[in-house]
Amino acid sequence: MAETESRPTNFIRQIIDKDLQSGLHNQVHTRFPPEPNGYLHIGHAKSICLNFGIAQDYQGQCNLRFDDTNPDKEDIDYVNAIKSDVTWLGFEWQGEARYSSNYFDQLHAFAVELIEKGLAYVDFSNQEQVREMRGTLTSPGTNSPFRDTSIEENLAQFAKMRNGEYKEGECLLRAKIDMSSPFMCMRDPALYRVKFAHHHQTGDKWCIYPMYDFTHCISDAIEGITHSLCTLEFQDNRRLYDWVLENITIDVVPRQYEFSRLNLEYTVLSKRKLIQLVDEKFVSGWDDPRMPTIAGLRRRGFTAASIREFCKRIGVTKMDNMVEMSMLEAPLRDELNENAPRAMAVLEPVKIVIENYPQESVELLEAPNHPNRPEMGSREVPFAREIYIEAEDFREEANKKFKRLVLGKEVRLRNAYVIKAQRVEKDGQGNVITIFCEYDADTLGKDPADGRKVKGVIHWVSAAHAVAAEIRLYDSLFTVANPAAQDDFIACINPESLTIKQGWVEPSLAKVNFDEANIQAFQFERTGYFCFDKDSTTSKLVFNRTVGLRDTWAKIGD
């Protein structure tokens, strides 16, 4: 269970407070109802934190219920991934996980009840005819020629649907409401369709499957849900939600409340678009660290606490807005700055030879694991005559603003000595391949004795002791802030969303055991926050850049 945090307030909590005070409810019961047709994304995390968080704060209950009414697109692997994501985020559902398919017998009985009341009919119009009869937003629909079929015949036809005597697409069970309603969802919506598909929970028991709008409200009522929370796109559908429950014989009548969905810059949260990215291999899978899925964020190095804090910060409103990516990264950066142990890694190495350092000598220097948390201890870092530094940390000539290594000038090596660049060796293309330096042996952990001021500090690794590592630098998957608004969102994919470096890391990192359920993060000093990737093996370390040391999104917007 997620730890108790200060309780936020929003319009939904105000409604719940009022309902409890008035005695309308004496306990809060919510639910999180994902469709098992893909992985959960950061938008679902907002709903998870809302539904489970409310149940937790009000000492109520929250169900995990899979909306599994479309077996063609569902998979047990998605079910398991969703369970894993909810648990990883720090929440527990009430009792066993539930499925809408648990209620298929009851749903079927309620459909029969609507037919018996003259409120549902079997329509043999084809898909194009049904679409045409619905009308438009500015013109009313027209009645189906099958709308006035007798109750007895509708019951017989629905029984034939149930028995598999009609083909897929041959007919629908539709509610009989109002084809002139200003709300399209009330123009005789479909309740059941024929579908010969194997279901991951019910097998081949059914060849008809209920529609989402019919299933969802009844499932809520069966489970005793008090507050059914969903996003704003279901606002109009609340009328159908209420209509169904008002016209069947059921004791509990829950209420639906809508809040704004999460829209996040530089990504897409449409499951259809995410499936396209996976199926067409624009990403390596659902857990690709560029994906906005919870699995992708976890693999990139995001923590459950940072995602919960992000959801808390953006709040719950009825106002649609686009959330900046910097808001997602900020709580993570705050957490990692406080908790991530430090290490040194060189992503683009250039060799330094310290000519006045003894040829065969190796020192084990002590380096703190965190500069501000001595309780996190320290580690030993080997230092020798040949080391690697970042290529960008050296210039042959530079102005005073460049605080790193310059030919003829000094710089401090992190947790080590002061060195001075004397000369360089270049390859045939004029690239520096080796920098020859001298070190001041009396500067380990202290300033030069003669009072020389050395302002710059750079990181390094011992060439003989460093461990080779593949380092994956992730950037935004898209080049525009709102790719979903583009005609072709695929054309907006960032070709530089992944850059792979073959670098070197200090040997202490080779001793860390990889745990996919609790991914270890590190601050690579002066570079950013990184974590082990699941592709890591004992012979090949792989690190993902989680987030930079500072927010760079503001610069993108300038």
Asked if residue 47 belongs to a domain, the reply is no
Q: Is 347 annotated as a binding residue?
A: no
Is 288 exposed, middle or buried (CB count within 10 Å of its CB: 0-12, 13-18, 19+)? buried
pLDDT for the residue 451: 83
- Residue bearing tokens 């009869």: 133
380 is an active site residue = no
Tell me, yes or no, whether 442 and 470 share the same domain. no
pLDDT for the residue 262: 94
Q: What average pLDDT does the structure give for the chain? A: 94
Tell me, yes or no, whether 423 and 327 share the same domain. no
pLDDT tens by residue, 189-245? 999 999 999 999 999 999 999 999 999 999 999 999 999 999 999 999 999 999 999
Which of 459, 476, 493 marks a domain boundary? 459
35 is an active site residue = yes
Tell me, yes or no, whether 327 and 399 share the same domain. no
Tell me, yes or no, whether 480 and 432 share the same domain. no
pLDDT tens by residue, 364-393? 999 999 999 999 999 999 999 999 999 999
Instruction: Provide the β-strand partners of residue 500.
Output: 472
426 is an active site residue = no
Hey, what long-range contacts does 204-208 have (CB within 8 A, 24 or more apart)?
205/104, 206/104, 207/161, 207/162, 207/164, 208/108, 208/161, 208/162, 208/173
Q: Quickly state the pLDDT bin for 449 (edges 50, 70, 90).
A: confident
Asked if residue 36 belongs to a domain, the reply is no
Hey, what long-range contacts does 365-371 have (CB within 8 A, 24 or more apart)?
365/415, 365/416, 365/444, 366/415, 367/342, 367/414, 367/415, 368/342, 368/415, 369/341, 369/342, 370/340, 370/341, 370/342, 371/342
Spot the catalytic one: 65, 176, 193, 271: 271
Tell me, yes or no, whether 297 and 380 share the same domain. no
Q: Is 385 annotated as a binding residue?
A: no
In 238-281, alpha helices (H): 238-246, 271-279
Q: Is 42 annotated as a binding residue?
A: yes
Asked if residue 390 belongs to a domain, the reply is yes
Whole-Å CA distances, 547 to 75, 332, 522: 32, 8, 11
Q: Is 370 annotated as a binding residue?
A: no
Cα–Cα nearest to 474, from 311, 328, 301, 286: 301
Q: Quickly state the pLDDT bin for 512 (edges 50, 70, 90).
A: confident
pLDDT tens by residue, 154-187? 999 999 999 999 999 999 999 999 999 999 999 9
Question: Do 475 and 500 meet the contact criterion of CB atoms below 8 Å apart?
Answer: no
Spot the catalytic one: 195, 239, 261, 403: 261
Tell me, yes or no, whether 451 and 475 share the same domain. no
- Residue bearing tokens 């990516």: 325
pLDDT tens by residue, 35-46? 999 999 999 999
Query: Structural domain tally of the chain?
Result: 3
- pTM greater than 0.95 (yes/no): no
517 has a pLDDT exceeding 80: no
Length of the chain: 558
Q: Is 20 annotated as a binding residue?
A: no
519 has a pLDDT exceeding 90: no
pLDDT tens by residue, 24-79? 999 999 999 999 999 999 999 999 999 999 999 999 999 999 999 999 999 999 99
Tell me, yes or no, whether 449 and 473 share the same domain. no
Question: Do 213 and 240 meet the contact criterion of CB atoms below 8 Å apart?
Answer: yes
Q: Is 37 annotated as a binding residue?
A: yes
pLDDT for the residue 538: 81
What is the rounded CA–CA span in Å between residue 458 and residue 337?
A: 19
Instruction: Report the CATH number that the domain containing residue 425 is assigned in CATH.
Output: 2.40.240.10
Tell me, yes or no, whether 295 and 309 share the same domain. yes
Q: Which domain holds residue 484?
A: 260-341+466-558
Tell me, yes or no, whether 334 and 478 share the same domain. yes
Tell me, yes or no, whether 455 and 531 share the same domain. no
